[in-house]
Amino acid sequence: MLDTLTQQPPDALLALIKLYDADPRPAKIDLGVGVYRTADGATPVFACIKAAEAKLVAEQDTKAYLGPEGDMGFVHALMPHIFGGDDPSQGGRIDGMQTPGGTGAVRLAVALAKKAGVRRVLMGTPSWPNHAQIMADTGVELVAFNHAAADGSADLDALAAALKSAQRGDAVLLHGCCHNPTGIDYTPAQWDTIVDLLAETGVLPIIDLAYQGLGAGMDEDAYGTRAVVARLPQALIAYSCDKNFGLYRDRVGAFYVFTRDPAQTQAALSNGHALARANWSMPPDHGAAAVRMVLEDAALTASWLEELASMRARIRQVRDTLAASGTAGHVNLVPLGQQQGMFAMLPLNKDQIAAIRADHAVYMAGSGRINIAGLTTDNIGTFVGALAAVSG
Ligand code: LMR
């Protein structure tokens, strides 16, 4: 029976990690998978996480099972940072559960939406390739609309048209901030319009908030999420700590449900627990426990927010340097200064992406996405030169 299975290609984005590692050229530049890098090209463990891990090792006295919901101290400690305000749970209307990374949270959001009757999910494209894979695997139909307008801002008209032509029972997947792969976020005014449209059409928002704090700021990056829960009756939120706590391989995420009343939220979440049990039973504990310990300690929380602010400032500085370069070959880099987060899409074709890798040792996704954080003051000139050479 197993001989019916055919060889599948490796995930294109994750395959880049191995290709880059195998390249012996010392001046190679990694702009592939979305990990933050310092100005020295390193992806260190956050100081607050190191401190929390030391405490965890010293204090943790059992590794016994928790449950499908994972570490609820972690889930609740994050909520003030995500939802803000005096009552981040909105009187118990918002609650959540821990998931294996942001991917686990998106997977759970889509699966739960499907269980609730959603058959189609509207989504601006391009998007993170795994969004489409998760929808295909979960068995919901993806209805694509255009995300990026020609001027490098968000194509709100396309989103509005998609929402207005939505069918009863549709959901829409929205990036909370730091759009992956384009870096093109909605402005606060656009979010207000989107919330109006969601209120009008009744389309269920699924927000993927995977990069909070890496765009304009913790509060600014949560504007859309907070506007949604302030004004709409329901929403699903997938959250990742993999980037903003630097915990990538530890897989730290959370899934939040927002409904009309606390009992309904708990009922919906109980479905999330059942889905989790059937998929991964319970999430890995270590990273989430470390995040909880950071968030329970004022000094460690301050250290986290400071480290995050320095990452954000470095990403902004690289963006501004790229934007100040004007154009490289046919690529206009100016809009990158207005965009946010770790990613940008460059209008390169497959041959140019192959050439920049073969001739200049620059590794970027096949879609033309670059990880802004892979650029440093040392390699940015080389990169812009390589871009001009392949696209001129
Ligand atoms: C990315 O888009 O590079 C990251 O979100 C990593 C991943 O899992 O794809």
| Residue 86 annotated among the catalytic residues of the structure | no
Half-sphere exposure of 208 (CA within 13 A, CB side): 29
Ligand 1 centre distance from Cα of residue 61 (Å): 34
- Burial category of 125 from C-beta neighbours within 10 Å (exposed 0-12, middle 13-18, buried 19 and up): middle
Q: Which of 30, 71, 128, 304 is catalytic?
A: 128
Alpha-carbon distance 17 to 269, whole Å?
Answer: 35
Decide whether any atom of ligand 1 lies within 6 Å of the 343 Cβ. no
Decide whether any atom of ligand 1 lies within 6 Å of the 178 Cβ. no
Rounded mean pLDDT of 175-186?
A: 98
Q: What is the CA radius of gyration of the chain?
A: 21
Q: What is the dihedral of CA 214, 142, 103, 66, to 10 degrees?
A: 130
Fold exhibited by the domain 65-296: Aspartate Aminotransferase; domain 2 (3.40.640)
What are the percentages of helix, strand and coil residues in the chain, rounded to 5? 50, 15, 35
Alpha-carbon distance 302 to 305, whole Å?
Answer: 5
Contact 341, 215 (CB under 8 A): yes
> Domain residue spans in the chain?
2-45+300-391, 65-296
Tokens of 172: 């829409």
Decide whether any atom of ligand 1 lies within 6 Å of the 127 Cβ. no
pLDDT > 90 in the chain, percent: 96
Alpha-carbon distance 131 to 59, whole Å?
Answer: 38
Q: What ipTM is given for this predicted complex?
A: 0.94
Rounded mean pLDDT of 339-360?
A: 96
pLDDT at 392: 81
Rounded mean pLDDT of 381-388?
A: 96
pLDDT > 70 in the chain, percent: 100
Burial readout 87-96 (b: 16 or more C-beta within 10 A, e: otherwise) = ebbbeebbbb
**Is-same-fold flag (2-45+300-391; 65-296)?**
no
pTM (2 d.p.): 0.96
Nearest CA to ligand 1 atom 5: 34
Ligand 1 centre distance from Cα of residue 165 (Å): 31
- Is 54's pLDDT higher than 90? yes
Ligand 1 centre distance from Cα of residue 34 (Å): 5
Instruction: Specify the CATH number of the domain 2-45+300-391.
Output: 3.90.1150.10
Decide whether any atom of ligand 1 lies within 6 Å of the 128 Cβ. yes
- Is 115's pLDDT higher than 90? yes
| Residue 208 annotated among the catalytic residues of the structure | yes
| Residue 191 annotated among the catalytic residues of the structure | no
Kindly provide the residue ranges of all beta strands, DSSP E only, lying in the chain, ordered along the sequence: 29-31, 94-100, 120-125, 141-146, 171-175, 204-209, 235-240, 252-258, 327-328, 331-332, 343-345, 362-364, 369-371
Nearest CA to ligand 1 atom 6: 34
